[in-house]
Structure 1
Amino acid sequence: MPPSNPLPPKENALFKRILRCYEHKQYKNGLKFAKQILSNPKFAEHGETLAMKGLTLNCLGRKDEAYEYVRRGLRNDLKSPVCWHVYGLLQRSDKKYDEAIKCYRNALKWEKENIQILRDLSLLQIQMRDLEGYKDTRYQLFMLRPTQRASWIGFAMSYHLLGDYEMANSILDAFRTNQMKGPYDYEHSELLLYQNMVLAESGQYERALQHLQKFQSQILDKLSIKETSGEYYLKLKRFKEAEAVYEDLLKRNPENVMYYQKLIEAKQLSDPDEKVAFFDVYKKEFPRAIAPRRLQLTEAPAAVFTRLVDEYLRHGLHKGIPPLFVDLRSLYADQSKADTIEKLVLQYVENLSKLGTFSSDPSEPKQPASALLWAYYYAAQHFDYKKDTDRALHYIDAAIEHTPTLIELFIVKGRIYKHAGDPVSAYQWLEEAQAMDTADRYVNSKCARYMLRAEHVKRAEDMCAKFTREGVPATENLNEMQCMWFQTEAAAAYQRLHQWGEALKKAHEVDRHFSEIMEDQFDFHSYCMRKMTLRSYVGLLRLEDVLRSHPFYFRCARVAIQVYLRLYAQPLQDVQQTTEPDTENLAPSELKKLRNKQRKAKRKAEQESALAAQVQVKREQHHKARQQQEQGDPEAPQLDELIPDKLARAEDPLEQAIKFLQPLRTLAADRIDTHLMAFEIYFRKEKPLLMLQSLKRAWRLDNTHHHLHDCLVRFRCWLDDAGDSLNASVAAVIAAETSQMFAGRSAVQMAEEFLAGPARKSQEGALWGARALRRLVPARTQEALRLATDLDSTQPTIQGCVEVLESLKDGDFGPCEKETEEYILACRAKFPYAIAFKPPAPAPADVPAPAQDAALQPKEIANNN
C-alpha cells in the first residue's frame, strides 16, 4: 500500500536514508536527515518523518521527546502503518506489550501483508502467551513466505503450543519432505527430535518410537536416541527391549542413577533381595563405580545392610570423602539403618584411635592417619543430625585437634552451633574458616549467609565485597548479578530486625529479578527459531510460565506479605525532629563524650554521603557503558528507585501485599501457606467470599493445619459479628460452603475440639489452639497458658519455643511476667546453647553497636535452618 501522505522524490530519498541510518544505528545522521525534511515548511508536519525522528530519539535515551514526536506524527497521519508500527516499537521498549500489540494491529489494518509488522506482532503474542493470536499471525506469515524455514517452524509450533499435536506433526512432515534436502546437519537433527517430542506428547509412543528408529541415521544426538527410545519401550511395556537399551547406556555411564532405576523397572524387580543381587552384578562389572554401591544401601534389607554399609563407610573414610555423611543422610529415615551406622562409626573411631585399623582384627592392614580424622568428621555430623550437640562438639573438637588446618572442620562446627540455636558462634566459626582460605568463594558465601542469619547484615555485605566488583558497594553489585540467595536472606534478617523498609526493598529487588528474567525471554523467540533449538525453546517457554513458583520468589513474597500486614496493623509514625540536647547542666566529662559522639556521627554521615555519591556516579557510568554496548535497542524503562522509607510508608499496604500474593495463588497453589497468607490479607480487607475461597483451598490441602484452625475460628467469629448485615446471597453461599468445615460448631467448640485432638501433641498446634482459646474465653487464660508452655507433652524445637516466647511477650496471654521467666529457664535447660533463652550480652559502654549488630532478640533467631 502506498504511503497515505507521499513525499516528493528528493524528500523520499532522505526518508529512506533515515530508515537506513536507524537500521545501522547511525542515529545522529538519521536526526540530521529528518531535520532536512522537517525544515521544509511543506513537510514540517509529515507524520512518518516525525515518527522516525521520535524512534531515533528514543534510541538515544530521550524518551519524553520521542513520545512527543511519535504521537504528533500519528495525529498527523492516522492511516500510516509506519506511524503505528513506530508507536508499537516505542510501547514495546517500555515493556507495555498489550499496548504494542494494539498498535501493530492498527498498522496491519492499513498494510495487511507487511512482513516486519507481522513478525513483531508474533513475537509479542508469544511473549504474552496469546496462543490463538500467535497461530493466526504465524499462518499469515506462512502464506506470505512459504519458502522460508522460519515460516514453517513457527506455524507448526503455534499448533504444538495449543495442543493440536496432529496438525503440528503434519506441518513438520510436509516441511521435512518438501523443503529439507541433504546434507543432514545439526539443525535437521534437532528438527527431527522436536517432531519426535510432539508425537510423544500426543501420547502416540508407538508412532514416536517408529519415527525415532526410521530417522536415527539422520539424528546426530545418539545419546538422546537411546534415552528416548528406552523411555518409549517402558511406556509401551516392551521390557526386554528397554532392558537392552539401559544395559547399553550403563556401559556408557555407570554413574548415572536414573539408568539403574529404569533398568530395575525394565527387569520388573520388586523384592529387596532381588534388587540387592541386581546391584551386586553391576558392582562386579563396574568395580570403580560408586552409584551401584550407594543405591544398593537404599534397597538393602536389615540382614545384609550392616555388611554393605560397613564396606561403603570403610571405603569413604579410607579415601577421605568429605560429603560421605550428606551421601548417606537419606538412609537415616529408617531408624534401624541409622542405629547401625552409628554403631559402626563409633567402632571405627575407637579402633582407629587405638589400633589404627577399622576393626580389632590383627590381620587387618593399617589405615592412613586421615581415616581417624574423617571418622571424627562423620561422627560430628551424625550426632548433629540427631540433635546431640554435646557429642557432636566433642567429635568435631577432636577432629580439629587432630588436623587444625582443615577448613571443612570449622564449617561443620559452625553448622553445629547454628542447629543448636547459636547463630553468633556459628558465623564466628565460619569466619575463621574463611580466613584460612580467602580465595574460596563457597566458604565466603557460606560465611555471609551465616552472618545474615545472625542479623549482622553489614558484616555480611563486607564479606561478599571481597568477591564483588571493586569500587561499587557489594549490595549494588549483588543486585546487578541477581544474587537472590543473599537478597532473600537479607530480607528475612531485616524483617527480624524490624527494619521494615529495608526488608521490603530486598523483597522488591527479588521481584524485579523475576520480571527481568521473564522479559529476557523476548530475545529468544526469534533466536531459537533461527538456530533450531526447538526442544530447549519449548522448555524455556514452559519454565517461564511457572517461573514465580520458584522457592526464591516464595520466600521474598512471604517476607513482603508479612511486613505489609504488620505495617497495616501498626503503621510507621512520622519521625520527630530531634532537639538539641541540653548541654548546660552536663558535667565536663559527659559533655566531652557527647561532643565526641556528635563528631563521630557527623563524620559517619559525611562518609555515607560521599559513598552514596560514588555509587550514583558508578551506576550512571555502568548504565551508559551498557547502553553504548547495546547501541540501538530502545532504552529500557528506568524503574523507580527503591527507597526503604517510602516503601515502609505505603498508602495501601494490603494492595501491595496482594501484588506479591497473586502469582503464588496461581503457581504455588499446592502450598498451604499461600492460602493462609491470602486469608490474612482478605480478613483485614473484610472480603468474605475471598476469605472463604482461601479457607476452602487450604482445607483441601491439610484440614488439620494449626494455622488453618485459627483462621477458621476467626472467620466464624467474624460471621457471628457480621450477623444480618451480611448480604443474604453471600450468607447463603458461605453457609453452604462452610458446612463441612464448621460442622455446626461454634467458635469455642471448634477451639476445644482442636485442643482435644492430636494437634495438641505438636508444639505449633498447642500454641495456636491455646491462643484461640484465650481469645475466645479470657476466663480460661491460665489453662491456655499451661497448654502453650508445656514442654513435656510435645516435642519442642528451638523454633517452636521462640514462637511461644514471642507470643508470651506480645501479650497474647495477658500479663504473665512470672510465667515468661519460668518458661525461659525451662527452655534454657532444654536448649543450653540457644542464645534466644540467654540473657542479652551487655554492649561495651563506649562503643555503640550498629543497628545490624544489636543484641539478638528471641524473634531474630527464629529461623536458623
Structure 2
Amino acid sequence: MPPSNPLPPKENALFKRILRCYEHKQYKNGLKFAKQILSNPKFAEHGETLAMKGLTLNCLGRKDEAYEYVRRGLRNDLKSPVCWHVYGLLQRSDKKYDEAIKCYRNALKWEKENIQILRDLSLLQIQMRDLEGYKDTRYQLFTLRPTQRASWIGFAMSYHLLGDYEMANSILDAFRTNQMKGPYDYEHSELLLYQNMVLAESGQYERALLHLHKFQSQISDKLSIKETSGEYYLKLKRFKEAEAVYEDLLKRNPENVMYYQKLIEAKQLSDPDEKVAFFDVYKKEYPKSIAPRRLQLTEARAQAFGRLVDEYLRHGLHKGIPPLFVDLRSLYADQSKADTIEKLVLQYIENLTKSGTFSSEPEEVKQPASALLWAYYFAAQHFDYKKDTDRALHYIDAAIEHTPTLIELFIVKGRIFKHAGDPVSAYQWLEEAQAMDTADRYVNSKCARYMLRAGHVKRAEDMCAKFTREGVPATENLNEMQCMWFQTEAAAAYQRLHQWGDALKKAHEVDRHFSEIMEDQFDFHSYCMRKMTLRSYVGLLRLEDVLRSHPFYFRCARVAIQVYLRLYTQPLQDAPQTAEPDTENLAPSELKKLRNKQRKAKRKAEQESALAAQVQVKREQHHKARQQQEQGDPEAPQLDELIPDKLARAEDPLQQAIKFLQPLRTLAADRIETHLMAFEIYFRKERPLLMLQSIKRAWRIDPLHHHVHSCLVRFRCWLDSALHSMNQSVAAVVQANCQQLFKDRTAIQMAEEYLEGPALRSQAGALWGSRELRRLAPSRAPHALRLATALHYADLSIQGCVEVLDSLREGDFGPCEEEIERYIEACRAKFPYAIAFKPAQPQTQPQSQTQPELNDNHVDDNVLQSTENAVSN
C-alpha cells in the first residue's frame, strides 16, 4: 500500500537514507537526514519521518523525546503502517509486548502483506505464548513466502505447540519431500529428529520407530538414534530389541547409569538377587567401570551387601576418592546398610593404625599412608551425618593431624560445626581452608556462603571480590553475572539480621534475573529456526514456561513474602530526631569523652560518604561503558534502582508479596509452603474465598501439617466473628466448603484433637498445636508450655528448638522467664556446640580482621542466635 502522505523524490530519497542509517546503527546521520526533511515547512509534520526520528532517538537513549516524536507522527498519519510499526517497536523496547502486538495489528490493517511486520508480530506472539495467534500469523507468512524454509518450519511448529501433531507432521513431510533435496547435512538431520519427536509426542511409537530406521542414514547424531530407538522398544514392550540396543550403548559408555537401569527394565529383572547377579556380569566385562559396582550396592541385601561394600570401600580408600561418602550417602536410608558401613570403616581405621592394612589377615596387602587419612575423612563425614558431633570432630582432627595441608579436611570440619549449630566456627574453618588455596573459586564461594549464614555479609562480599572484576563493587558484579546463589543466601542473611530493606533488594534482584531470562528468549525465536536447532528450541520454550518453579526463585520469593508480612504487621518507624546533649551540666571528663565520640562519628560519616561517592562514580562509569557497548540496542531499558529503605517502606506490603506469590501458585502448586504463604497474605487482607482456597489446597497435600492446623484454627476463629457481616453468597460458599475441614468442631476442639493425634510426635506439631491451644484457652498455658518445651521428639533439631525459644521470647505462652532459662539449659546440654543456646558473650575478632564491622560484629544476641535458622540448609 502506498503511503498516505507521500514525499517528493528528493525527500523520499532522504527518508530511505534514514531507514538505511537505522539498519546500520548510524543514528546521528539518521537524525541529520530527518532534520533535512522536517526543516522544510511543507513536511514539518510528516508522520513517518517524525516516527523514524523518534525511533532513532530511542536508540540513543532519549526515550521521552522518542515517544513524543512517534506519537506526534502517529497523530499526523493514523493510516501509516510505518508509524504503527515504529510505535510497536518502541513499545517492544519497553517490554510492553501486549501493547506492541496491538500496534502491529493496527499496522497490518493498512498493509496486510508486510513481511517484516508479520515476522515481528509472530515473535511477540510466541514470546507471549499466544499460540492461536502465532499459528494464524505463521500461516500468513507461509502463504506469502512458501519457498522459504523458515515459513515451513514456523508453520509446522505452531501446530506442534498447539498439540496438533498430525498436522505438524504432514507439514514437515511436505517440506522434506518438496523443498529439501540432497546433499544431506546437519540441519537436515536435526529436522528429521524433530519430526521424530513430534511423532513420539503424539504417542505413535511404532510409527516413530519406523521413521527413525527409515532415515537413519540421513541422521548425523548416531547416539541419539540408538537412545531414542531403545526408548521406543521399551514403550512398545519389544524387550529383546531393547536389550540389544542398550548392550550396544553400554559398550560405548559403561559409566552411564541410565543404560544399566534401562537394560534391567529390558531384561525384566525384579528380584534384588537377580539384579546383583546382573551387575556381576558387567563388573567382569568392564572391570574399570565404577557404575555397576555402585549400582549393585543399592540392590544388594544383608550378607551380600557386606561383601560388596567392603570391596567398594577398600577401592575408594586405597585410591583416595574424596566424594566417596557422598557417593554412598543414599544407602544410609537403610539403617542396616549404614551400620555395616560404620562397622567396616572403624575396622579399617583400627587395622590401618596398627599394621597399615585393611584387615588383620596375614596375607593382606599393605596400604599407602593416605588410606588411613581417607578413612578418617570418611568416618568424620559418617558420624556428622549421624549427628554424633563429638566423634565426627575426633576423626576430622585426627585427619588434620595426619595431613594438615589437605583443604578438604578443613571444609568438612567447617561443615561439622555448621550442622552442630555453630555457623561462626564453621565459616572460620572455611576461611582457613580458603587461605590455603586462594586461587580455588569453589572454596572461595563455599567460604562466602558460610560467612553469609553466620551473618557476616560484608566479609562475604569481600571474599567474593577476589574473583569479580576490578573497579566494580563485588555486589554489582555478582548481580550483573546473575549469581543467584549469593543473592538468595544474602537475602536470607539480611532477613535474619532484621535488615528488611536489604533483604528485599536481594529478593527483587533475583526476581529481575528471572524476568531477564524470560526476555532473553526473545533473541532465540528466529535464531533457532534459522539454525534448525528445533528440539532444543522446543525444550527452551517449555523450560521458560515453568522457569519460576526453580528453587532459586522459590527461596527469594519466600524471603520477600515473609519480610513483607512482617513489615505489614510491624511497619518501620521513622528514625527519631536525636536531641542535642546538655553539655552545660556535664563534667569536664564526660564532656571530653562526648567531644571525642562526636569527632569519631563525624570522621566515620565522612569516610562512609566518600566511599559511597567513590562506589557511585565507579557504578556510573561501569553503566556508561555498558551503554556505550550496547549503544543502539532498543531492547535494554534502564530499570529503576532498588533502594533498600524505599522497598522496606512500601505503601502496600501485601500487594508486593502477592507479586512474588502469583508465579508460585501456578508453578509450585505441589509445595505446601506456597499455599501456606498464600493463606497468610489473604488472612491479613481478609479475603475469605482466597483463604479457603489456600487452606483446601494445603490440606489436600498434608492434612496433618502443623502450619495447616494453625491456619484452620485461625480461619475458624475469624469466620466465627466475621460470618454474620459477610456477603450472603460468599458465606454460603464458605460454609458449604468448610464442612469437610471443620467437621462441625469449634476452634478449641480442633486444637485439643490435634494435640491428641499423631501430630504430637513431632516437635513442630507440638509447638504449633500448643501455641494455638494457649491462644484459645489461656488457662491451659502450663500444659501447652510443657508440650512445646519437651525434648523427647524423634525429629528434635537445633532449628526446631530455636523456633520454640523464639516463640517463648515473643510471649506466645505468656510471661515465662524461668521456663526460658530452663529450656536454654536443657537445649545446651542436648546441643553443646549450638551458639543459640550459649550464654551471651562479647564477640571476639578473628585474627584476619582488625577493624570491627557495624553489620557483622555489633549484632544483637537474638539476631545472632537466629542464624541457626540457616543450619538445616
TM-score scaled by length of structure 2 = 0.98
CA offsets, 1:832-853, max 9 Å, x none?
A: 0000000121247998652233
Q: For 2:338 and 2:210, how far apart are their aligned partners in 1?
A: 48
Is the aligned partner of 1:542 residue 2:542?
A: yes
| Paired AA for residue 20 in structure 1 | R
Match 1:852 to one of 828, 831, 856: 856
Residue aligning to 2:151:
151
Shift in alpha-carbon separation, 1:649–1:363, aligned structure 2, 3 A: same
Q: For 1:848 and 1:365, how far apart are their aligned partners in 2?
A: 55
Indicate if the aligned counterparts of 1:380 and 1:392 stay in contact, CA closer than 8 A: yes
Q: For 2:429 and 2:12, how far apart are their aligned partners in 1?
A: 74
Residue aligning to 2:417:
417
| Paired AA for residue 16 in structure 1 | K
Between 1:254-263 and 1:629-638, the stretch displaced more is 629-638
| CA positional deviation for 1:576 | 1.4
Residue aligning to 1:530:
530
Is the aligned partner of 1:218 residue 2:222?
A: no
Residue aligning to 1:446:
446
Indicate if the aligned counterparts of 1:318 and 1:371 stay in contact, CA closer than 8 A: yes
Q: For 1:594 and 1:286, how far apart are their aligned partners in 2?
A: 79
Indicate if the aligned counterparts of 2:798 and 2:868 stay in contact, CA closer than 8 A: no
Residue aligning to 2:516:
516
| Paired AA for residue 104 in structure 2 | Y
CA offsets, 1:285-318, max 9 Å, x none?
A: 1110000000000000112000000000000000
| CA positional deviation for 1:471 | 1.5
- Give the alignment of 1:728-767 within 5 angstroms: 728-767=728-767
Q: For 2:695 and 2:664, how far apart are their aligned partners in 1?
A: 15
> SS at 1:851's partner residue?
coil
Is the aligned partner of 1:274 residue 2:285?
A: no
> SS at 1:841's partner residue?
coil
Q: For 2:240 and 2:706, how far apart are their aligned partners in 1?
A: 50
In structure 1, stretches of 5+ residues that fail to align are none
Residue aligning to 2:201:
201
| CA positional deviation for 1:608 | 2.8
Q: For 1:449 and 1:488, how far apart are their aligned partners in 2?
A: 10
| Paired AA for residue 698 in structure 2 | A
Residue aligning to 2:73:
73
| CA positional deviation for 1:588 | 4.9
| Paired AA for residue 176 in structure 1 | R
- Give the alignment of 1:100-499 within 5 angstroms: 100-499=100-499
Shift in alpha-carbon separation, 1:512–1:793, aligned structure 2, 3 A: closer
CA offsets, 1:270-293, max 9 Å, x none?
A: 011110010001101111000000
Is the aligned partner of 1:723 residue 2:723?
A: yes
Shift in alpha-carbon separation, 1:595–1:249, aligned structure 2, 3 A: farther
| Paired AA for residue 697 in structure 1 | R
Indicate if the aligned counterparts of 1:60 and 1:635 stay in contact, CA closer than 8 A: no
| CA positional deviation for 1:36 | 0.5
Q: For 2:681 and 2:466, how far apart are their aligned partners in 1?
A: 41
> SS at 1:862's partner residue?
helix
Between 1:307-316 and 1:596-605, the stretch displaced more is 596-605
Indicate if the aligned counterparts of 2:458 and 2:855 stay in contact, CA closer than 8 A: no
| Paired AA for residue 327 in structure 1 | D
| Paired AA for residue 856 in structure 2 | Q
Indicate if the aligned counterparts of 2:230 and 2:245 stay in contact, CA closer than 8 A: yes
Is the aligned partner of 1:661 residue 2:667?
A: no
Q: For 2:81 and 2:263, how far apart are their aligned partners in 1?
A: 61
Give the percent of matched residue pairs that are identical in Structure 1 and Structure 2.
89
| CA positional deviation for 1:692 | 0.4
Q: For 1:793 and 1:526, how far apart are their aligned partners in 2?
A: 58
Shift in alpha-carbon separation, 1:537–1:5, aligned structure 2, 3 A: same
| Paired AA for residue 868 in structure 2 | I
> SS at 1:738's partner residue?
helix
| CA positional deviation for 1:470 | 1.0
Q: For 1:340 and 1:535, how far apart are their aligned partners in 2?
A: 47
Shift in alpha-carbon separation, 1:307–1:587, aligned structure 2, 3 A: farther
Indicate if the aligned counterparts of 1:413 and 1:429 stay in contact, CA closer than 8 A: yes
Q: For 1:366 and 1:70, how far apart are their aligned partners in 2?
A: 84
| CA positional deviation for 1:72 | 0.2
| Paired AA for residue 716 in structure 1 | R
Residue aligning to 1:862:
869
Indicate if the aligned counterparts of 1:414 and 1:425 stay in contact, CA closer than 8 A: yes
> SS at 2:183's partner residue?
coil
Is the aligned partner of 1:617 residue 2:617?
A: yes
| CA positional deviation for 1:607 | 3.0
> SS at 2:217's partner residue?
coil
| CA positional deviation for 1:96 | 0.4
Q: For 1:157 and 1:249, how far apart are their aligned partners in 2?
A: 31
> SS at 2:216's partner residue?
coil
| Paired AA for residue 490 in structure 2 | A
Q: For 2:700 and 2:219, how far apart are their aligned partners in 1?
A: 47
Q: For 1:209 and 1:595, how far apart are their aligned partners in 2?
A: 87
TM-score scaled by length of structure 1 = 0.99
Shift in alpha-carbon separation, 1:20–1:665, aligned structure 2, 3 A: same
CA offsets, 1:136-169, max 9 Å, x none?
A: 0000000000000000000000000000000000
Shift in alpha-carbon separation, 1:92–1:139, aligned structure 2, 3 A: same
In structure 2, stretches of 5+ residues that fail to align are none
> SS at 2:455's partner residue?
coil
Indicate if the aligned counterparts of 2:723 and 2:731 stay in contact, CA closer than 8 A: no
| Paired AA for residue 319 in structure 2 | K
> SS at 2:520's partner residue?
helix
Indicate if the aligned counterparts of 2:423 and 2:450 stay in contact, CA closer than 8 A: yes
> SS at 1:519's partner residue?
helix
Indicate if the aligned counterparts of 1:843 and 1:849 stay in contact, CA closer than 8 A: no
Q: For 1:35 and 1:794, how far apart are their aligned partners in 2?
A: 80
> SS at 1:283's partner residue?
helix
| CA positional deviation for 1:592 | 4.4
| Paired AA for residue 365 in structure 1 | V
Q: For 1:666 and 1:5, how far apart are their aligned partners in 2?
A: 49
| CA positional deviation for 1:593 | 4.3
> SS at 1:203's partner residue?
coil
Q: For 1:306 and 1:747, how far apart are their aligned partners in 2?
A: 54
Residue aligning to 1:25:
25
| Paired AA for residue 208 in structure 2 | A
CA offsets, 1:396-439, max 9 Å, x none?
A: 00000000000000000000000000000000000000000000
CA offsets, 1:155-188, max 9 Å, x none?
A: 0000000000000000000000000011111100
> SS at 1:852's partner residue?
coil
Indicate if the aligned counterparts of 2:472 and 2:622 stay in contact, CA closer than 8 A: no
Q: For 1:593 and 1:404, how far apart are their aligned partners in 2?
A: 48
Q: For 1:91 and 1:382, how far apart are their aligned partners in 2?
A: 58
| Paired AA for residue 851 in structure 1 | N
Q: CA RMSD in A?
A: 1.3
